[in-house]
Amino acid sequence: MKIAIVSHLYPSESGFKHGVFIRNHAEMLEEFAEVKVWVPTPRYPPFARKSKFASSPLLQPPQANRWRFWSLPRHTLARLVAKQYQHLAAEILSWQADLVHIHWAFPDAQLVSRLKDSGIPTVVQVHGSDWYRTGHVAGLRNEQLLAASAIIAVGMQLKEDMARALPRISDNIHHIPNWVDAGRFTIPADKNRAKNQMGWDVQRTQLLCVANFKSEKGVDDLVESIRHLQHRSIDLHLIGTDFRDTFSADLHRKADSIEHSRVIFHPPVPYEELVGFYQAADLFVLPSRSEGFGIGLIEAGACGVPLVATRSGGPEEIVESEVGMLADKSNPENLAEILGEILDSIDSFDPEKVRNRIVSRFGKTRAAEQFHQLYQNLIS
């Protein structure tokens, strides 16, 4: 079986955290198929901030290569972009793929119609932002979703929202959640030793959040909630973006104004090193305003770490009473209340039970079986 994967997000030497889960998906498929990855990449002028990422070598293996196209910011002239994707379809056809798995409903799904005309089955995997934040190109997006052989929604709420907005695709949407490699993300033998290895104070409560510093991720709400918990000895570790835009600058100013509790900013961390942060954390927090799923939640949970997340779409599917608690989104006061409540009862969460519940529902083996079965059905 030859499977082509298309995703404009994919990790590279200078952008090693971008689209890590896409690479993980490709590696998983290599267990039962021949895989090749195409990474659509806009052309940027040399002085543009994103030019270094666009020219950075992609991480190998699996075999991955860039496909260049012309674009303008914020999907300006989206039809021009869509038209160029026809050339990518021709490249994939020349490789004679049995099936094409396309991540992101826009812009990458713009090659679906051309592939359908050639009789190649297509799977479009929708992650959240490519649905909720692409209303301005809904016509182009929906046209390709209607033409897809199958659609995957990573979250149940996302699936329901898509079916409600576009009823004609409702019977063609499959719910396959993101997954965690339980062999990589494990419970530490000794929590204090894990903290010491990270240089963290074992006498203080260590909170962790891994999220891009963007408004929809709600990291500013999390920092504000810590202000309400200054009577506690808390260290909040934030792993996000490494550039200082207006949102990030405001986040740093807000963090600097908090007394007693400490907010510690970490640069982007390679995927292979994240497990050390999860294992040292007492609690993992994802404060999103909008979230298609929440991979950090299941990675932390597989390490036995209790979870707090906001009711923002995807986390409701993951965070049950056995593994953590949910707070209201866009509500720092309620988030602080929930954080205080779970910290008061943190010893009641058994790391083994947290891990087992997460892995049983979101483990790699189960996801691989779901993908393989779907592909076999479409190809046959």
Report pLDDT digits (tens) over 50-77. Answer: 777 788 999 998 999 999 988 776 556 7
Gyration radius (Cα) of the chain, Å: 21
Tokens of residue 284, six digits? 């993992």
Domains of the chain: 2-179+363-379 (3.40.50.2000), 191-361 (3.40.50.2000)
CA 223, CA 219: separation in Å to the nearest integer?
A: 6
Distances (CA, A) of 238 to 217, 222, 311: 12, 10, 20
CB atoms within 10 A of CB 265: 16
- The amino acid at 72: L
For the chain of 380 residues, list the mean pLDDT of each consecutive stretch of 10: 96 88 96 96 78 84 91 70 90 96 95 94 97 92 97 97 97 97 97 97 96 93 92 92 79 85 90 96 97 96 98 97 97 98 96 98 95 96
Distance of CA 290 to the CA centre of its chain: 12
CA 152, CA 367: separation in Å to the nearest integer?
A: 12
Most distant CA pair in the chain, distance: 64
Query: What 3-state class would DSSP assign to 218?
Result: coil
Distances (CA, A) of 227 to 105, 113, 254, 325: 38, 51, 9, 20
How high is the pLDDT of residue 155? 95
Distances (CA, A) of 110 to 132, 146, 170, 289, 324: 17, 11, 20, 28, 39
pTM beyond 0.85: the answer is yes
How high is the pLDDT of residue 205? 95
Q: Are 192 and 202 in contact (CB under 8 A)?
A: yes
CA nearest neighbour of 240 among 232, 230, 229, 248? 248
CA 356, CA 358: separation in Å to the nearest integer?
A: 5
Phi-psi region of 298 (alpha: psi -120 to 50; beta: other; left: phi over 0): alpha
